[in-house]
């Protein structure tokens, strides 16, 4: 109930206690605990970017909580015809009970939150993907029983997923290592913030995949060119090739290490098919957990 009515715009919107409570509720809901907090309430989905897992998991989560979902497709609403964000936000604030937004600029999300009294949720921006990080931490917790003492190594582009993982791991007390090519590192302010928040863990940023992977409990990767960067994919491929998560890199990690990928994956590029389908992959559990953490998040934000 401490989260009732609040926004979730970034990982830093949760304290370590609140993060653990959301993960605990997600585990309970996944185990079959009944919760109908959403009965009579409506979630609006405003997505400027394509989506499979985020759209479907938010929709199913709200339905399972007893609520309804409205798809606010920008191509068929005034959102896509230039209506000021402030005007759209103040109208939607009177129609729906919560709003999940997937867009490019973090500033647009912040502007919606400024003009809305209802909870606004970051369903992905170019800066952060906090709902994904919640699912990742839940998957790690399920696998190892506890997050304490774990090390997550992210290999690849220092993008929005890397940002949320760095912050989420710092909040949860998980060691995090990020290995990226020169020129593709996470934003400097995110690195500094994560390092300042890491009270019982460490945050390391390097150019060396082997250094990051050594004895790690989790190897994590994402596509080399995110949405909106497709035109750069061909030029990026040779730069990122040494950062592929493959069998050789996996042998450097802890023998019981798991492999995660937020999907969609480009098999044979950032991750090999054999690693993705191998016994250490938890990618499909990770994808399923998007549903459970977002259900827990909605329940927490909509609690009376």
Residues tagged active-site: 102, 129, 132, 222, 262, 290
3-state SS track over the chain: CCCCCCCECCHHHCCHHHHHHHHHHHHHHHCCCCCCCCCCCEEEEEECCCCCHHHHHHHHHHHHCCCEEEECCHHHCHHHHCCCHHHHHHHHCCCCCEEEEECCCHHHHHHHHHHCCCCEEECCCCCCCHHHHHHHHHHHHHHHCCCCCCEEEEECCCCHHHHHHHHHHHHHCCEEEEECCCCCCCCHHHHHHHHHHCCCCCEEEECCHHHHHCCCCEEEECCCCCCCCHHHHHHHHHHHHHHCECHHHHCCCCCCCEEEECCCCCECCCECHHHHCCCCECHHHHHHHHHHHHHHHHHHHHCC
Q: Confirm if 22 and 293 have CB atoms less than 8 A apart.
A: yes
């Amino acid at each position: 109930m401490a989260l009732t009515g609040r926004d979730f715009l970034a990982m830093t919107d949760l304290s370590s206690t609140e993060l653990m409570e959301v993960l605990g509720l997600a585990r309970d809901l996944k185990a079959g605990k009944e919760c109908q907090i959403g009965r009579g309430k409506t979630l609006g989905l405003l997505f400027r970017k394509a989506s499979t897992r985020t759209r479907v998991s938010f929709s199913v989560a709200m339905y399972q909580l007893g609520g309804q979902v409205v798809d606010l497709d920008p191509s068929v609403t005034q959102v896509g015809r230039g209506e000021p964000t402030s005007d759209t936000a103040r109208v939607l604030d009177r129609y729906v009970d919560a709003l999940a937004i997937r867009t490019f600029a973090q500033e647009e999300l912040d502007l919606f939150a400024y003009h809305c009294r209802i909870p606004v949720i970051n369903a992905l921006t170019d800066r952060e993907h906090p709902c994904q990080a919640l699912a990742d931490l839940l998957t790690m917790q399920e696998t190892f029983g506890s997050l304490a003492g774990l090390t997550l190594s992210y290999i690849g582009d220092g993008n929005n997923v890397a940002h949320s993982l760095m912050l989420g791991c710092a909040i949860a007390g998980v060691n995090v290592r990020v290995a990226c090519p020169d020129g593709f590192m996470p934003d400097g302010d995110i690195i500094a913030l994560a390092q300042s928040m890491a009270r019982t863990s460490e945050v390391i940023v390097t150019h060396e995949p082997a250094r990051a992977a050594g004895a790690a409990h989790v190897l994590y990767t994402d596509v080399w060119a995110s949405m909106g960067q497709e035109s750069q994919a061909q030029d990026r491929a040779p730069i990122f090739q040494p950062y592929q998560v493959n069998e050789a890199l996996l042998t450097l990690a802890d023998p019981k290490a798991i492999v995660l990928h937020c999907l969609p994956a480009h098999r044979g590029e950032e991750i090999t098919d054999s690693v993705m389908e191998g016994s250490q992959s938890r990618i499909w559990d990770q994808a399923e957990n998007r549903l459970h953490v977002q259900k827990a998040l909605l329940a927490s934000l909509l609690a009376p």
